[in-house]
């Protein structure tokens, strides 16, 4: 369903039966405007939201994404990410 050619290899969003698992690279690409896959991530996340798909992640992905945002973007964005979870 979501595995399309425009989905970058390193940005993994696995979907089955209208459910999706978002990993660290998916979140980071979505949040980081300077990431090479940012516009694709925005498009994909928007489409998933519009379709009403159930999106999932894990505590490990949240912790890993928080650490990545903290070191590469900044403290405020990392706090905003945690608050949105």
- Residues of the domain holding 58: 19-84
- pTM equals 0.72
In a domain, 36, yes or no: yes
In a domain, 6, yes or no: no
In a domain, 71, yes or no: yes
**Measured CA distances, 63 to 2, 5, 66 (Å):** 25, 29, 5
Q: How far apart are CA 29 and CA 35, in angstroms?
A: 6
Per-residue model confidence (pLDDT) at position 85:
83
Which neighbouring-strand residues pair with 21?
14, 56
Angle at 61 between CA 51 and CA 26, to 5 degrees: 45
In a domain, 1, yes or no: no
Burial group, residue 38, by CB count within 10 angstroms (0-12, 13-18, 19+): middle
Averaged pLDDT in 10-residue chunks for the chain of 85 residues: 39 58 90 92 85 84 94 92 88
In a domain, 58, yes or no: yes
In a domain, 8, yes or no: no
Question: For the chain, what is the domain count?
Answer: 1
């Amino acid at each position: 369903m979501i595995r399309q050619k425009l989905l970058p290899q390193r940005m993994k969003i696995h979907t089955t039966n209208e459910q999706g698992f978002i990993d660290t690279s998916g979140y980071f690409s979505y949040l980081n405007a300077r990431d090479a896959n940012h516009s694709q991530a925005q498009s994909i996340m928007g489409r998933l939201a519009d379709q009403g798909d159930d999106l999932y992640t894990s505590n490990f992905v949240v912790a890993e994404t928080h650490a990545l945002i903290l070191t590469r973007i900044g403290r405020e964005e990392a706090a905003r990410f945690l608050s949105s979870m």
